[in-house]
Amino acid sequence: MMKKFWMVFGMRKDGSGREQKKKHFDCGTAGIEARRLANENPGMEFLVCEACAGYTFPERPEVHVNVYDE
């Protein structure tokens, strides 16, 4: 059985994005990282996605965080 983990992905309003490369072995710490990144990068939204052996499942985000400039 493959061990699953979570990855944090960031995306701007215009659709461009970047991947946070660090693996998180539980959803809670990945969510904390997503919130930290959202606070440091206004205008981006962050998703925590389940991953397994190099494949991510972005269609099933576990945590969705955004902080937009008003």
Task: Determine the Cα angle at 29 with ends 12 and 27, to 5°.
Answer: 85
Q: How many residues does the chain have?
A: 70
Domain ranges of the chain: 1-6+22-42
The answer to whether the CB of 38 falls within 8 A of the CB of 49 is no
Q: pLDDT per residue over 8-40, tens digit each?
A: 888 777 767 665 567 888 889 989 998 898 888
Ordered DSSP codes for 46-57: EEEEEEETTEEE
Reported pTM: 0.66
The answer to whether the CB of 10 falls within 8 A of the CB of 41 is yes
DSSP 5: E
